Amino acid sequence: MNLFEKEEWIRIKAEEFEDATAEEVVKLAVDTFPNITFACSFGAEDVVLVDILQKIRPSADIFYLDTDFHFKETYDTRDQMAAKYGIEFVRVSPKLTPLEQVEAHGEALWTVDANQCCNIRKVEPLTRILSQYDAWITGIRRDQAPTRANAKKVEYDAKFGLVKFNPLASWTSEDVWNYIRQNNVLYNPLHDKNYPSVGCEYCTRPVMPGEDPRAGRWSGNDKTECGLHK
């Protein structure tokens, strides 16, 4: 499939699958692109997609970006899910260790230049791993942030040069939690402590009543995305 054919296929499938279930989108993704991967952050949306993938294509690759700065609860969730499903999550690490980052850029880079920290610990490793695949699956939802409002269930990811599937794009937070409860899915316990969105420990705080669900990410900064999506 050349680029023109791929873009036309994406346009058609985006329209065709707009009202499809998450399971139908996942099946389309894994059936069409055998060389596909799922990016898992062990947040609520992603544990749902792990469960769906295990029912449809348990052999599909699942990776996570190990920034070295995740909460203990996130690593515990990873280990519990690996044991429950018999998954070997692919660990993708930054080129710089935390100590090497300090030596190159100073202490607590995230407080000085959060974008650069995200580029080192997330964007570069993601670019590296995605270069090995033809398509990827993500857990983004349209109502998470204005930057995600126009996400399609099937789209071309120009940033990374591959097809991107967002099976939960039309879901609400309530949809996510209904699935978790109904299917007894393991989830990060930080969600029970006012963390609707979980990122690195140094850049994530609890969200207070009335705040935007993404307010806990890079608090006090106008940054709303780590650079993985757009």
- Check if the beta carbon of residue 161 is closer than 8 Å to that of residue 136: no
- Residue whose pair of structure tokens reads 């060389």 in the numeric block: 35
Q: Which candidate in 40, 117, 118, 226 is catalytic?
A: 226
Question: Minimal CA–CA distance to 186: which of 47, 38, 39?
Answer: 47
- Is 40 part of the annotated catalytic residue set? no
Question: Minimal CA–CA distance to 197: which of 149, 144, 146?
Answer: 144
Dist CA 112 CA 48 (whole Å): 34
DSSP string covering 96-147: S-HHHHHHHH-TTHHHH-HHHHHIIIIIHHHHHHHTT-SEEE----GGG-GG
Both tokens of 42, joined, read 């062990």
Helices within 170-223 (DSSP H only): 173-182
Q: Tell me the catalytic residues.
A: 226
